[in-house]
Amino acid sequence: MSTHASGTVTVTRYAPVTSVHYELVPARRLSLETVASRTGLHPELIRRFVALGLVEAEHDAAGRLVFAPEAPAALGRVERLHSGLCLNYASIGLVLDLLDRIDLLEAALRRSGVRSEQPPWT
């Protein structure tokens, strides 16, 4: 605060200090072998899923596939759609895109308060 000669008080406000976050530990990644053992799927089938865009993967410095920790769950979802609905792997990509879009739309409706959690037929 500062006081002027005329008796007025001026308050100086400063912008809040934002914290900077640095990753000290690199994001954990799973190898192809680890994902295969956790899911029970053959590594070649997992490579096919990556090629079809059904699961995301990156290449490490050595050129090997590495996956996010959520990859086994995503692969389980693909396998449930394949076995439960008898869909081929190419059409599963479309179904996954539609399910993700539905999730986004439902979340937006919940945020806006337009839709209740109860379905209209109950």
Most distant pair of Cα atoms in the chain: their distance: 83
Residue 21's pLDDT band, with cuts at 50, 70 and 90, is: low
pLDDT digits (tens, 9 = 90+) for 31-58: 999 999 999 999 999 999 999 999 999 9
27 in Cβ contact with 58 (< 8 Å): no
pTM: 0.65
Residue 46 contacts residue 35 (beta carbons within 8 Å)? yes
Residue 5 has pLDDT above 80, yes or no: no
- Residue 1 belongs to a domain: no
The two structure tokens encoding residue 122: 């109950």
Domain residues for the domain of 49 are 30-111
CATH number at residue 38: 1.10.1660.10
- For residues 82 and 92, the answer to whether their CB atoms sit within 8 Å is yes
Classify residue 91: in a domain, yes or no: yes
Domain membership of residue 122 (yes or no) is: no
